[in-house]
Structure 1
Amino acid sequence: MVSFLSSTGGGLGGGLFGNTSTGTTSLFGSKPTTGGGLFGSTSLMSTAPTTTNLLNQTIIKPNTVHDLIQGAEALAKSVSGPELYGDKRDEIVAKLNQLSAASGIGKGYYKHDAPQVDYSPEGIFYRLKSVGYNRQSNYKDADGIVGMVMKTSPSNVATKEQRQKVIDALFVILGSKPTVHAHVENVKPLTDDLVEFLFYVYDKAKGRVSAKDVAQFFNQTAQFQQLQNQLQCVKITPRTQVSEQELMNYLKQPPIGYDLIFWKQCVKENPDPKNFIPYPIRGFEQLRERQKLQIAEINLQENLINDLRERLHTVQSDMSVLQNEYISIKQTKKQLSHRLLRILATQVLLQKYCKALDSDDERLHAALETVNAHLNAPGQIKEKIIDLLNKVETNSDVWKAQKLGAAKNKNVTIDKELTTDEVNHIRRYLTRCRGSLEQMTKKIEKTKKDLDIVMKEM
């Protein structure tokens, strides 16, 4: 199933964007109107029929019912019972006519005084035909998406610079108005020498111009002639969704040469009726064109996937660089935070040196004086600890004898006496206590001196 470019009818009179230039000057200089353009001189060619073409095509019907019956009888007689020779040669002619009708080529004769019968791929006896399914467009008319089929190699519109040249040419054809610009939507290769250029027109005063209005403007004779000369445009059509009424009418009426029962069966077996439309395929050429379009679509998807992979790789590389920068910035922030804390602490100290002592400082000074007095005053903690330590060191034997005597008076047996290690342990403990008290005393004295200096400075 291949998505074809949808199309509608040709251009109408009147300019959508006002009067525009109708000259045939090429994008790269003045050239004759019969050739030359952005991609060089080429001859125009028709493309395969599309879904919306089928919806809008007009079936040529006979003028009367008599003509219809007469045409059907002539076709049936040419393949079943020619009356040319009146012998077995008529059977051979019938088989030849059947072969021509099945192949969709040539002309058939069945009677001397009757007109010849033309065989075409639209005939009911044509056998090289089938039905495929085309994907409907997802664009709405308000989106303004227009498809322009150009006869050029996909490599000629592959880069941004090449696509910008096409946009510049469209800008000139639109009248070179500063408020009206064309923008690229997508570029899809159809075959080796056909490209579908999707774009939309934006008007600063109105927004996006509808797809049908843009297609109607470019399909005018003068504008389309410029598209042919400068961009080698084959056709330009709006990419819009098919209305429900158009779809119902299309599905109800089988294409020319298709049996109604077979067509209804194809409509019933549509794998996705919401997105796909049955599409008649006649002959090997149309089948090959569909295959080319399918290959081009696959190549386009592969290119998009490769582009996404490259972009993903680039994003991952950028993320690694940003991650390293983030770590560096985080480390710098931490260093700046530490510096800021030091600056704030210094600032607080400077403020305190410049300010008078408050009540909290006075209370702290009084508390330190009290602690110092309790520690260093005669008969206080420090002196008592020093005296106790001296007694332990000098009178250990006396205390031991007193303890033994007390135990004898109470009839208590001392199972275990203090060992030398235990005495040394007590001595070390008391020594540490004295050292701690001396350190505390020194700190208190230092703090007191600092407070005295501050008070003198004030």
Structure 2
Amino acid sequence: MAGGMNTTLGFGQQQQQQQQQVQGLSPDEIFSNSIFNVSIYGDERDTTLARWNYLQALLGTGKAFYSQSQPPVEINSQNYLCRFKAMGYSRLPGKDNKLGFVVVKFNKTLAQVKEQQDLIQKLNQLFGNRPNMMIHIDSMKALTDNSCQIVIYIEEKLQNTNETKRISANETSAYLCQANLKYQLTNLGIQKVFPMTPPDEDQLKQYLEAPPKGIDHRMWRQAIADNPDSKTFIPVPLVGFSELKTRLSCQENETANQVAYLAMLEKEICDLKQRHINTTAKVMEHRRKFSELSHRILRIIVKQESTRKVGLALTIDEETIKTKLENMHALVSAPTQFRGKLSELLSQMRMQRTKWSSAGTSEYTLDKDSADEMENFLTMQQRAMELLIETINNDLKSIDIITDGMVRMSTNSVV
């Protein structure tokens, strides 16, 4: 009986010693023991269980049982044996601190946040409902199925100059991260607030020097060395399928944003093209009016000069111009020149018309499409003629005004 009690006490002391040894180990050492130091059954079954734990570690999920006296180890994709890992590159986040962009993460879906009509009002309450402060939402996007983020900036209206300035991102973030606002942020579903500013050199150096958990040091150094643009991109680990899904979702959202931006640019380009067409039409219309007015002024000047030189002999220059015009008229009126060719064309047209009339058939036949096209063309020509008549009437009124003005000017000069 005493021997049994001693044996029991010895076993209890051994368990206690094992627990004390485990308690002194780091999580990584406990994880290694769960893979390489399985001791539950004391036979070949421990080897099989160790292989199963190793396979779970490679997959990055499951529970590793390795001791009767210790709880199982939770295996996730952050362990150093997980094979579902890759390295990617992301653009350095953040914008200038003066722009005041602050990221606010919600533990709600994007649809739930959009449904909050009084979101700006509630955010204003966090800042004390100051009338000279205006909160603006720059962008909204979903992060996961149950979380999203919005980017805000705050403008403050100065009382003396009535000008507005943006509050810096660090100042806004520091105010929202105060301990006395934590309860109100939790009620709004806000999970985290941080400034949307690029990391400084010390932060970037600290990030690159220490590899993330579960990433091999050599793999991390190789990713840093393979960075295509160290001033623009930083290496980012992709561990497990969840992070791969998150990155894919981010890429899809970014692609959707780019497509929307391209659609907006396409619309603006179409508007600019239409404005260009309208402007070109107006320019052509003004040029036409300018040409018409130039001809009218020229005719008025001719009439004025003719009236002024009534009874006077022609000058030498005028005689030269008259001679040239008479020669040109004689050249055009010659039988072998343009007038003779026009007469020949008219004769051929008359002969062709006589031939069709003697045959008893119509000269031309049009199908339905051609007739519709001809009708549309004639309608357009009729509208153009109406517009031309209206323009001529307006021009005649303008000429009357010019004529009356010249008469008054001549009367005043005579007086």
Q: TM-score range by the shorter chain?
A: 0.5 to 0.7
**Matched letter for residue 200 of structure 1:** Y
Match of 2:103 among 125, 141, 147: 147
SS in 2 for 1:131: strand
1:307 aligns with 2:260: no
TM-score where L is the length of structure 2: 0.56
* Alignment: residue pair count: 289
Kept in 2: contact 1:191–1:296 (CA 8 A): no
Aligned to 1:19: none
1:83 aligns with 2:48: no
**1:291: how far off?**
0.9
Q: Kindly tell me: are residues 276 and 255 of structure 1, through their superposed partners in 2, closer, same or farther at Cα, counting changes over 3 Å?
A: same
**1:309: how far off?**
0.5
Deviations 1:156-183 (A, max 9, x none): 86xxxx9996555544543333322123
Aligned to 2:251: 294
Match of 1:176 among 115, 126, 129: 129
SS in 2 for 1:178: coil
**1:131: how far off?**
2.4
Kept in 2: contact 1:154–1:194 (CA 8 A): no
Match of 1:216 among 157, 166, 174: 174
**1:193: how far off?**
7.0
Q: Kindly tell me: are residues 114 and 234 of structure 1, through their superposed partners in 2, closer, same or farther at Cα, counting changes over 3 Å?
A: closer
Q: Kindly tell me: are residues 183 and 76 of structure 1, through their superposed partners in 2, closer, same or farther at Cα, counting changes over 3 Å?
A: closer
Aligned-partner Cα distance in 2 for 1:344–1:152: 79
Match of 2:91 among 116, 132, 135: 135
Deviations 1:172-197 (A, max 9, x none): 54333332212343444556776543
**1:302: how far off?**
0.8
Aligned-partner Cα distance in 1 for 2:223–2:251: 21
**1:307: how far off?**
1.3
Structure 2: where are the runs of 5+ without partners? 1-21, 159-163, 316-410
**Matched letter for residue 135 of structure 2:** A
1:158-237 map, 5 Å = 167=120, 170-188=123-141, 190=143, 195-205=148-158, 207-220=165-178, 233-237=190-194
Aligned-partner Cα distance in 1 for 2:137–2:297: 54
Kept in 2: contact 1:188–1:300 (CA 8 A): no
Q: Kindly tell me: are residues 294 and 68 of structure 1, through their superposed partners in 2, closer, same or farther at Cα, counting changes over 3 Å?
A: farther
1:261 aligns with 2:218: yes
Match of 2:66 among 110, 116, 126: 110
Kept in 2: contact 1:180–1:202 (CA 8 A): yes
**1:83: how far off?**
2.3
**Matched letter for residue 203 of structure 1:** E
Aligned-partner Cα distance in 2 for 1:250–1:260: 13
Q: Kindly tell me: are residues 83 and 190 of structure 1, through their superposed partners in 2, closer, same or farther at Cα, counting changes over 3 Å?
A: closer
Q: Kindly tell me: are residues 330 and 147 of structure 1, through their superposed partners in 2, closer, same or farther at Cα, counting changes over 3 Å?
A: farther
Aligned to 1:424: none
**Matched letter for residue 285 of structure 2:** S
**1:345: how far off?**
11
Aligned-partner Cα distance in 2 for 1:224–1:306: 41
Kept in 1: contact 2:65–2:71 (CA 8 A): yes
Kept in 2: contact 1:137–1:239 (CA 8 A): yes
**1:154: how far off?**
6.5
Q: Kindly tell me: are residues 319 and 102 of structure 1, through their superposed partners in 2, closer, same or farther at Cα, counting changes over 3 Å?
A: same
1:35-434 map, 5 Å = 71-113=27-69, 116-150=72-106, 151-153=108-110, 167=120, 170-188=123-141, 190=143, 195-205=148-158, 207-220=165-178, 233-332=190-289
Kept in 1: contact 2:109–2:142 (CA 8 A): no
Aligned-partner Cα distance in 2 for 1:258–1:291: 21
Aligned-partner Cα distance in 2 for 1:68–1:249: 28
Moved more, 106-115 or 292-301: 106-115
Q: Kindly tell me: are residues 85 and 166 of structure 1, through their superposed partners in 2, closer, same or farther at Cα, counting changes over 3 Å?
A: closer
Aligned-partner Cα distance in 1 for 2:26–2:85: 25
**Matched letter for residue 80 of structure 2:** I
Deviations 1:276-322 (A, max 9, x none): 11122222112111111111111111111111101111121122222
Aligned-partner Cα distance in 1 for 2:71–2:109: 44
Q: Kindly tell me: are residues 281 and 339 of structure 1, through their superposed partners in 2, closer, same or farther at Cα, counting changes over 3 Å?
A: same
**1:105: how far off?**
3.9
Question: RCO (CA 8 Å, sep 6+): is it higher in 1 or 2?
Answer: 1
Kept in 2: contact 1:190–1:296 (CA 8 A): no
**Matched letter for residue 300 of structure 1:** N
**1:246: how far off?**
0.8
**1:337: how far off?**
7.0
**1:240: how far off?**
1.0
Q: Kindly tell me: are residues 173 and 320 of structure 1, through their superposed partners in 2, closer, same or farther at Cα, counting changes over 3 Å?
A: farther
Q: Kindly tell me: are residues 136 and 335 of structure 1, through their superposed partners in 2, closer, same or farther at Cα, counting changes over 3 Å?
A: same
Aligned to 1:392: none
SS in 2 for 1:181: strand
Aligned to 2:341: none
Structure 1: where are the runs of 5+ without partners? 1-65, 353-367, 372-453
**Matched letter for residue 198 of structure 1:** V
Aligned-partner Cα distance in 1 for 2:116–2:69: 61
Larger Rg: 1
Aligned to 1:21: none
Aligned-partner Cα distance in 2 for 1:269–1:332: 67
TM-score where L is the length of structure 1: 0.52
Aligned-partner Cα distance in 1 for 2:70–2:111: 52
**1:250: how far off?**
0.8
Aligned-partner Cα distance in 1 for 2:175–2:222: 40
